Amino acid sequence: MDISSILGVTPDKGLGLYSIRKAGIIMLTKVMAKELGEYNIRVNGIAPGVIQTSFSEALWQNDSLIKEELKNTPLSRIAPPEEVGRTALYLVSDASAYVTGQTIIMDGGGSI
């Protein structure tokens, strides 16, 4: 399982290199799923949007920036890290036994 970013799917101005790197992780997930599937190895990923971590603290601590971010997020909130953890648990559990090569976008709907 890998962790990418919503920016690997939907780029943002000024973050081109970061977006390219994250898009590469998403493609690596697909390639590895194809190559390892015959061994019954599943490969999936998660592409989170803004998660309330120290990495994104400059965004969610700034009232004007987070207000602008949430304006385009249908769920109108950012997620705590535990939500990414629960998605990861799903992907490594038997509940996702027939899922491979997928990257789950979890961004509160911001990319739609």
| pLDDT digit string, tens, across residues 53-95 | 999 999 999 999 999 989 999 999 999 999 999 999 999 999 9
* Domain coordinates in residue numbering, the chain: 2-106
Task: Kindly tell me if the per-residue pLDDT of 1 is higher than 90.
Answer: no
pTM over 0.85: yes
18 a catalytic residue? yes
Residue 111 phi/psi, 5° resolution? -95, 0
Which of 107, 104, 82, 81 minimizes the C-alpha distance to 26?
Answer: 104
| 2-106 classified as CATH 3.90.79.10 | no
Q: Is 105 left (phi over 0), alpha (psi -120 to 50) or beta?
A: beta
Question: Rounded distance, CA 33 to CA 27, Å?
Answer: 10
Catalytic annotation, pick one of 18, 39, 90, 98 = 18
DSSP state of 77: S
8-48: per-residue pLDDT in tens?
A: 999 889 999 999 999 999 999 999 999 999 999 999 999 99
The predicted pLDDT at position 26 comes to 97
The answer to whether 59 and 68 are in contact (CB under 8 A) is no
The predicted pLDDT at position 2 comes to 81
Classified as helix, coil or strand, 32 is helix
